[in-house]
Structure 1
Amino acid sequence: MAKEKKQPRPKAEAPKGFRDYFGAEVAERNEMLATIAGVYSRYGFDPLETSAVETLEALGKYLPDVDRPHAGVFAWQEEEGGDWLALRYDMTAPLARVAAQFRNDLPNPYRRYTMGPVWRNEKPGPGRFRQFYQCDADTVGAASVAADAEICAMLADTLEAVGIPRGDYIVRVNNRKVLNGVLEVAGLAGDDKEEARGIVLRAIDKLDKFGADGVRLLLGKGRLDESGDFTEGAGLSDEQADVIMAFMDARRTDGPATVARLSQLVAGSAIGADGVAELEQIADLLAAQGYGPDRIIIDPSVVRGLGYYTGPVYEAELTFEITDEKGRPRQFGSVAGGGRYDDLVKRFTGQEVPATGVSIGVDRLLAALRAKGRIGGTMEGPVVVTVMDRDRMADYQSMASELRAAGIRAEVYLGNPKNFGNQLKYADKRQSPVAIIQGSDEAARGVVQIKDLVLGAKLAEEATLEEWKSQPAQTEVSRSDLVAEVRAILDRHA
């Protein structure tokens, strides 16, 4: 009888493009989400939580890569002949479905914010994952560009609230109508030019990555990168490419000058003129609220890759330098973006429903703060109550309970208590600030030993013998003073 083949053990590793998050990373993200939610709430937005799964039909085909419709999402069919379902690739498409489904119950305009993970079935790379967090705010039902100006102002306020000071970021604003006007002037209007327009949009969106020369190649025959991969271009003539490149170079020293230049470039295009007028109105509204060019600017190079934008688009960029994995200085880049999408809800209702919103890439924003040393990437562990006598576990649990009741994180050591040194090693690994020690002798005298682990570590590294003696890291206090003494130590290190 043939020997049954042994099944190999599964690999203990996350799928490619996914990762796990531990302790400080989760705590820092939660704190950031709470801060962002606070700003959104002050602006009058209400929370909404939608399903992570939508029908593929409801999500639509709006990811940037038009050559692979639906290939950018994780999708599956429920059963043969049944609906196709997919994990959401952003938070906006689900909102459009909600706005249509509950249109008779929701206020109009409807202002909502939401936060959570989204999934994209794209090629992963350094710092690029298939699952990432977004934090969105949208206004559905407001046609006025005052809603767009408000989103831009709120985005600037949010960045400052989470720890990005003025001068380290800029919110850049453009309008898809202006770009559509430029495309019309360049001879790219009409359904038969849809594929070329898509390539042009993606080319403009890669200005920061490839530079003007690289974009010019993508507007023409195509671009060959360093690895030998060739990207097909839009096939524009030199004259057509000149029009697009002039649009990308239209930014001037101030908003009015930029608007004047854009007016020249879209001369003869009605939709382009509408877009320029909207940009001018947004600039006026922001200036009236005190949001000057140190925070928000008009910038024609902003395109945004998603295909559903119909009007103003905006992007928040961090302007400070960081060092990449090869030690080279570079700017951190975009951490948020959004725009107006007046046709998205119309897919469900048949009626145009104006909408605008912004999405913050929370993971990128956290990475930026870590790169600047503005968050530490560590978190303080709980107070650890050590176990000296197995038969006195109830006493130790009582100590931990008292500390928790006072709002102090605390736990009892639940491993093998035989080796006391291992308990202190555990507390160190947990980054605990304090360890509580009480053997039978201390219990009989009604006292506890409190070990200040933060001070102990500092003294071990820096202190002389005299300093060690004058600042003992371990003290004995009355059992009744346990909570007060631990609180005092935590306050000293706060």
Structure 2
Amino acid sequence: MAKQKKQPRPKAETPKGFRDYFGAEVTERAEMLGRITAVYHRYGFEALESSAVETVEALGKFLPDVDRPNEGVFAWQEGEEAGKGDWLALRYDLTAPLARVYAQHRNDLPTPYRRYATGPVWRNEKPGPGRFRQFYQCDADTVGAPSVAADAEICAMLCDALEEVGIARGDYLVRVNNRKVLEGVLEAMGVTEEAQKAAVMRTIDKFDKVGEAGVRELLGKGRLDASGAYIDGVGLAAEQAEPVIAFLTSKGAGAEETLDNLQRAVGESALGAEGVGELREIATLLAAQGYADDRIVIDPSVVRGLGYYTGPVFEAELTFEILDEKGRKRQFGSVAGGGRYDDLVKRFTGQAVPATGVSIGVDRLLAALREKGRAGARAEGPVVVTVMDRARMADYQAMVAELRQEGIRAEVYLGNPKNFGNQLKYADRRGAPVAVIAGSEEFDNGRVQIKDLVLGAEIAENATLEEWKERPSQFEAPRAELVARVQEILDRRS
């Protein structure tokens, strides 16, 4: 009889483009999201938690990365018989599911409907450094408000949210444009084909990287990139490209000058003129609320990659410098974006439903806060009650219960208690601020040893023998004072 082959063990590794998040990162994210959603709540928005899975039909085809399988989403077909079930997919953002939710429940929801949502999204994109296939977003949207006052409010709220989490004024800029202005420019160019429109949009989006000369080349025959590879151009004649160049170079010293330049760039286009008018109104509304161009600016270079935007679009860019992997200075870049998408709900209802919103890239914003020293500090672990006598486990559990009842994070050491040194190593690895120590002698005398682990580490690193005597990191206290004495140490730390 043939010997059965052993099944190979599975590899203990995350799939390509995915990662695991541990305690401190999860806590940091939760704290940051709590601050952001508190701002949203203050503005009158309500929480919504929708399904992570949608039908492919409901999600629609709006992702820019169309060369990937299933056009950028993780999709599968339901049903036992291949080719006969519905196609389902993990959501690629939080906006497309909102359109489905509103269309499904619109009779039970107020109009306008103002909601915020947080959670992971998934994109079947090529992963790279700092680019993952699963990432977190934090959105706020208003559905059912046709006025650009809703767009202006989203921009103001985005500023408040960034400042609330620790991005100082002067370290960020919310940049605003309008897709109608872009459409007006395309009309002025005589570009009507959808594929060619999309190609021009992608070229405009590269203005920050390649500059005016690079855009001219990409709108024409093409150009060599930094690596020496040749990139095919859109194939427009030089005179056709002029409205795009006028549009991209229209940013003036202030909002009025920029808007006047944009008005000239759209030429005779009625749609373009409508877009410029909306930008004027947004600028007026924001100025009335005290949001000047040190926080929010009209910027023609903002395009946004998703295909469902129909009006104002905006991005939040962090303007402070960081060092890249090669030690070169560069700006941190975009952490949030959004805009108006008046046709997204219409796909379900057949009726136009105005909507606008913003999405914050949670992981990128957290990385920015770490760069500014506002996040990434070592998270404080629980108070660890050590075990000196296994027979007294009920007493140790009573101690930890008292600490928890007073709101103190605490745990009993549940590993092998034989080596006490390992218990203290465990406490150190957990980031514990305090260790509680009690053996038979302490229990018999109604006493307990309390060790300030943070102070102990500081003394071991910096203090002389005399300072050690003056500031003992471990002391004895009555058992009845356990909670109060631990709380004193924690209060000093905070």
Q: TM-score range by the shorter chain?
A: over 0.9
- Write the distance in 1 (CA, Å) between the matches of 2:487 and 2:470: 21
1:192-341 to 2 correspondence within 5 Å? 193-227=193-227, 229-341=229-341
The residue aligned with 1:143 is 146
The residue aligned with 1:35 is 35
Match for 1:142: what amino acid? A
Match for 2:222: what amino acid? G
Does structure 1 residue 5 correspond to structure 2 residue 5? yes
Does structure 1 residue 179 correspond to structure 2 residue 182? yes
The residue aligned with 1:380 is 380
1:460, CA displacement in angstroms? 0.6
Does structure 1 residue 65 correspond to structure 2 residue 40? no
Q: Deviations for 1:21-55, whole angstroms, at most 9, x for unmatched residues? A: 01110000000111111000111111111100000
1:402-481 to 2 correspondence within 5 Å? 402-481=402-481
1:67, CA displacement in angstroms? 4.9
Aligned residues of 2:28 and 2:376 also touching (Cα < 8 A): no
Change in Cα spacing, 1:3 to 1:231, as seen in structure 2 (3 Å) is: farther
The residue aligned with 1:99 is 102
- Write the distance in 1 (CA, Å) between the matches of 2:224 and 2:3: 54
Structure 2, gaps ≥5 residues long: none
The residue aligned with 1:128 is 131
Q: Deviations for 1:87-127, whole angstroms, at most 9, x for unmatched residues? A: 00011110111111111111111111111000000001111
The correspondence for 1:87, drawn from 81, 86, 90, is 90
The residue aligned with 1:113 is 116
Residues 64-73 or 457-466, more deviating: 64-73
1:68, CA displacement in angstroms? 5.2
- Write the distance in 2 (CA, Å) between the matches of 1:196 and 1:86: 29
Q: Deviations for 1:271-321, whole angstroms, at most 9, x for unmatched residues? A: 000000000000000000100001100000001000100000000000000
1:240, CA displacement in angstroms? 2.0
- Write the distance in 2 (CA, Å) between the matches of 1:374 and 1:362: 14
- Write the distance in 2 (CA, Å) between the matches of 1:349 and 1:206: 35
TM-score where L is the length of structure 2: 0.97
1:490, CA displacement in angstroms? 0.6
Q: Deviations for 1:403-438, whole angstroms, at most 9, x for unmatched residues? A: 000100000000110100000000000010000000
Match for 2:216: what amino acid? R
Aligned residues of 1:252 and 1:258 also touching (Cα < 8 A): yes
- Write the distance in 2 (CA, Å) between the matches of 1:122 and 1:330: 25
The residue aligned with 1:26 is 26
1:199, CA displacement in angstroms? 1.3
Structure 1, gaps ≥5 residues long: none
Match for 2:420: what amino acid? F
- Write the distance in 2 (CA, Å) between the matches of 1:418 and 1:227: 61
Aligned residues of 2:68 and 2:124 also touching (Cα < 8 A): no
- Write the distance in 1 (CA, Å) between the matches of 2:199 and 2:33: 35
Match for 1:437: what amino acid? I
TM-score where L is the length of structure 1: 0.97
- Write the distance in 2 (CA, Å) between the matches of 1:399 and 1:210: 64
Q: Deviations for 1:420-472, whole angstroms, at most 9, x for unmatched residues? A: 00000000000100000001111111100000000000011110111111100
Match for 1:401: what amino acid? A
Identity over the aligned pairs, expressed in percent?
Answer: 74
Aligned residues of 1:63 and 1:305 also touching (Cα < 8 A): yes
1:237, CA displacement in angstroms? 1.6
Aligned residues of 1:61 and 1:69 also touching (Cα < 8 A): no
1:2, CA displacement in angstroms? 3.4
Q: Deviations for 1:182-237, whole angstroms, at most 9, x for unmatched residues? A: 01101112xxx111111111222233344444433332233444456554332222
Aligned residues of 2:68 and 2:125 also touching (Cα < 8 A): no
1:245, CA displacement in angstroms? 2.1
Match for 1:134: what amino acid? Q
Change in Cα spacing, 1:12 to 1:277, as seen in structure 2 (3 Å) is: same
The residue aligned with 1:354 is 354
Structure 1 residue ranges (4+ consecutive) displaced by more than 6 angstroms after TM superposition:
none
SS of corresponding position for 1:70: helix
* Number of aligned positions between the proteins: 491
Aligned residues of 2:63 and 2:71 also touching (Cα < 8 A): no
Aligned residues of 2:320 and 2:331 also touching (Cα < 8 A): yes
Aligned residues of 2:66 and 2:72 also touching (Cα < 8 A): no
Aligned residues of 1:196 and 1:235 also touching (Cα < 8 A): no
Aligned residues of 2:322 and 2:329 also touching (Cα < 8 A): yes
Aligned residues of 2:403 and 2:409 also touching (Cα < 8 A): yes
